[in-house]
Chain A
């Protein structure tokens, strides 16, 4: 890849490394509850977006069922944690169950859509995801319906848990950060996300990843060289479904709540799509940048827009368009412009700049 030798690529990798370092020390750098929430959400979404990028960026498949798999993982852990009480067994069993259900669905959708035109794939996954969303809100005895499920995480993650104690038997604290369960929960999320992300990074660099890129660039040619396009497509769909499902399980353990709005809704699907495109399709680095930008914007841009909206009261229509709830309007516009002018997103565009001999 020529990307490796450009200054842009180095800069992007530097930024990603910086983000990684910030996330690693997040509990020490930003010591309030909301920031930790943001950091955990960023970790999860980096994994989710990167796994979606395996589909859309590396293989050229557009799927709208990614939140469905995320939801399977989340609900698997949530239902078992609710039924069996807090502990590690329900988390592991729930995670495995989520992966199993995801694989069944991924194989079924994959096989069904092999029989139809590629463009149908987007429509079929959209239909499947919406049916699962409706089922999740209707089967309230299992899923808690619209209200979702609240449960307790394993004991290690309780805020009252003391991981290290000082001489007096109190929670040890370092630079004002208490070594309690909350911190353990954050590092659980961080470690899981890091492992999953590194796995994907290793995967795209493997010969298998190269085959996928070949399929994206020229399907007929890849088939002619002797690669079974259909089998590779189904495989990558299953892989990305598995990772999304695991990310869902981790997020469910962190949030201690699972409902349609946190795991299954179409709004999350749109978020993922925006993150992938803004960050840059076809580069794992883009997923990191897109996820960070979007999550930070979600939490902090709205406050800014609220201020702008109030400052403009009296001007017709502008206050309504600048209201904090309308932030998707602007993101949609940015999204369209990006697809027109920078189809490779931030990372993809930057990585082409500054070529070195």
Chain B
């Protein structure tokens, strides 16, 4: 048994979990073509969830701040990008590949810059006064979430808002009898690129080193003379921007969005963060992919269980590893 554990540990340990889930699902589903479609859908969903959850996880790891208002950035990202896309409708409808891509890039940039500014505002105005007081943090960020959701309702109204998609992301590739929606592949690629960038920043740069050190032992980093609170604003802004980007991509994926999008996704994002373990982006990625895959497989096999499946997954993992799969060292 112990040799099995060490072998498993050597070839990846908990990182093998998504593969195991995929393999079990392959046996249960039976049809390879639907399995491939579901897997790609699950991976794409997982990547978008990762973008939304990574900021939350890092912010908690670094500063012990639990932000229940994180979903506001997701909603705002979705609505800002949808508005920009609607405004650039001419470019989007144009028959030129470049103009389409430009419109999409503008929408994403708008969402990201909105996330940066909103994150700065949120950190300085809402969170700063209640550092190190979990109860008031939860209450205040819930209040902020209510205000943000109501602001969206006031600006965009309660009716579903349709989101434009550039022409080159419509449709799907058909390889043999497998059909792959292009937007899903695109979401997966973009998410993976962001993960690689984040990973490199955290593991290869001096700033990343400081962030990781701050997550592990904030007092020590402060004692060495670094301003962790300044670092924290940066991480908070980055996390908000990533959440906004995730929201923007989710908007394109759903194509019809309502102001409640953020609070609906929030539950899933929390589950991702809890499963992955707070404070590490690798754990968050693992949790996001697992949740994405589970949601799609179970949605296909037993549609009624789809939402409960995430809950069951969370309970199972917490019973096995109370701190999540890959928590940052504390």
The closest CB in chain B to the CB of A128 belongs to: B311
Main DSSP-derived SS at the A contact region:
helix
Name the interface residues of B255-307: CB closer than 8 Å to any CB of A: 263, 266-267, 270-271, 273-274, 304, 307
Q: Are B267 and A127 in contact (CB under 8 A)?
A: yes
> Besides the contacts A119-B134, A123-B66, A339-B140, what 8 more A-B pairs have beta carbons closer than 8 Å?
A126-B270, A128-B311, A266-B263, A328-B150, A329-B151, A332-B146, A333-B147, A339-B136
Q: Are A336 and B274 in contact (CB under 8 A)?
A: no
Which of A112, A119, A138, A273 is B315 in contact with, Cβ under 8 Å? A112
Name the interface residues of A129-176: CB closer than 8 Å to any CB of B: 130-131, 134-135, 138
Q: Is A99 an interface residue (CB 8 A)?
A: no
Q: Whole-angstrom distance between the alpha carbons of A124 and B314 in the complex?
A: 9
Q: Whole-angstrom distance between the alpha carbons of A124 and B315 in the complex?
A: 9
Q: Are A320 and B154 in contact (CB under 8 A)?
A: yes
Which of B135, B150, B263, B273 is A62 in contact with, Cβ under 8 Å? B135
18 A-B interface contacts by CB (under 8 A): A115-B318, A115-B322, A117-B323, A124-B314, A126-B267, A127-B311, A127-B314, A131-B308, A134-B308, A270-B146, A329-B146, A332-B147, A333-B147, A335-B143, A336-B140, A336-B143, A336-B144, A339-B139
Chain B residues whose C-beta falls within 8 Å of the C-beta of A266 in the assembled complex: 263
Chain B residues whose C-beta falls within 8 Å of the C-beta of A126 in the assembled complex: 266-267, 270
Q: Are B308 and A135 in contact (CB under 8 A)?
A: yes
Which of A119, A131, A333, A335 is B311 in contact with, Cβ under 8 Å? A131
Chain B residues whose C-beta falls within 8 Å of the C-beta of A56 in the assembled complex: 135
What is the CB-to-nearest-CB distance from B189 to chain A, in angstroms, rounded to a whole number?
30
Q: Is B86 an interface residue (CB 8 A)?
A: no
Chain A residues whose C-beta falls within 8 Å of the C-beta of B150 in the assembled complex: 326, 328-329, 332
Q: Whole-angstrom distance between the alpha carbons of A321 and B304 in the complex?
A: 38
What is the CB-to-nearest-CB distance from A248 to chain B, in angstroms, rounded to a whole number?
22
Q: Are B318 and A127 in contact (CB under 8 A)?
A: no
Q: Are B263 and A116 in contact (CB under 8 A)?
A: no
| Binary per-residue interface labels of chain B (143-159) against chain A in the complex, 1 for a CB within 8 Å, 0 otherwise | 11011001101110010
Which of B66, B155, B271 is A122 in contact with, Cβ under 8 Å? B66
| Binary per-residue interface labels of chain B (124-142) against chain A in the complex, 1 for a CB within 8 Å, 0 otherwise | 0010011000111011101
Q: Whole-angstrom distance between the alpha carbons of A332 and B150 in the complex?
A: 9
Q: Whole-angstrom distance between the alpha carbons of A23 and B31 in the complex?
A: 64
The closest CB in chain A to the CB of B138 belongs to: A62
The 5 closest A-B pairs by CB, nearest first: A329-B150, A332-B146, A332-B147, A336-B143, A115-B322
Q: Are A270 and B142 in contact (CB under 8 A)?
A: yes
Contact of A131 with B307 at beta-carbon distance under 8 Å, contacts A112-B318, A326-B153, A329-B151 already known: yes
Q: Whole-angstrom distance between the alpha carbons of A134 and B274 in the complex?
A: 20
Chain B residues whose C-beta falls within 8 Å of the C-beta of A131 in the assembled complex: 307-308, 311
What is the CB-to-nearest-CB distance from B279 to chain A, in angstroms, rounded to a whole number?
12
Q: Is A86 an interface residue (CB 8 A)?
A: no
Q: Is B319 an interface residue (CB 8 A)?
A: yes
Q: Is A120 an interface residue (CB 8 A)?
A: yes
What is the CB-to-nearest-CB distance from B277 to chain A, in angstroms, rounded to a whole number?
11
Q: Is A60 an interface residue (CB 8 A)?
A: yes
Chain B residues whose C-beta falls within 8 Å of the C-beta of A321 in the assembled complex: 154
Q: Whole-angstrom distance between the alpha carbons of A134 and B304 in the complex?
A: 10
The closest CB in chain A to the CB of B60 belongs to: A119
The closest CB in chain B to the CB of A334 belongs to: B143
Q: Are A123 and B322 in contact (CB under 8 A)?
A: no
Q: Whole-angstrom distance between the alpha carbons of A108 and B147 in the complex?
A: 33
Chain A residues whose C-beta falls within 8 Å of the C-beta of B134 in the assembled complex: 62, 118-119
Q: Name the residue among B66, B144, B146 with the largest chain A CB count within 10 angstroms.
A: B146
Q: Is A101 an interface residue (CB 8 A)?
A: no
Q: Whole-angstrom distance between the alpha carbons of A339 and B158 in the complex?
A: 28
Q: Is A343 an interface residue (CB 8 A)?
A: yes
What is the CB-to-nearest-CB distance from B249 to chain A, in angstroms, rounded to a whole number?
23
Which of A118, A124, A135, A332 is B143 in contact with, Cβ under 8 Å? A332
Contact of A127 with B139 at beta-carbon distance under 8 Å, contacts A119-B134, A332-B147 already known: no
Q: Name the residue among B154, B274, B318 with the largest chain A CB count within 10 angstroms.
A: B154
What is the CB-to-nearest-CB distance from B97 to chain A, in angstroms, rounded to a whole number?
38
Q: Are A112 and B136 in contact (CB under 8 A)?
A: no
Contact of A119 with B154 at beta-carbon distance under 8 Å, contacts A60-B135, A332-B143, A336-B144 already known: no
Q: Is A277 an interface residue (CB 8 A)?
A: yes
What is the CB-to-nearest-CB distance from B91 to chain A, in angstroms, rounded to a whole number?
28
Which of A117, A118, A325, A331 is B146 in contact with, Cβ under 8 Å? A331
Q: Name the residue among A126, A127, A138, A270 with the largest chain B CB count within 10 angstroms.
A: A127
The closest CB in chain A to the CB of B309 belongs to: A131
Q: Is A357 an interface residue (CB 8 A)?
A: no
Chain B residues whose C-beta falls within 8 Å of the C-beta of A138 in the assembled complex: 304
Chain B residues whose C-beta falls within 8 Å of the C-beta of A122 in the assembled complex: 66, 68, 138
Name the interface residues of A74-101: CB closer than 8 Å to any CB of B: none
Q: Are B146 and A328 in contact (CB under 8 A)?
A: yes
What is the CB-to-nearest-CB distance from B67 to chain A, in angstroms, rounded to a whole number?
11
What is the CB-to-nearest-CB distance from A207 to chain B, in angstroms, rounded to a whole number?
24
Contact of A273 with B151 at beta-carbon distance under 8 Å, contacts A135-B308, A331-B146 already known: no
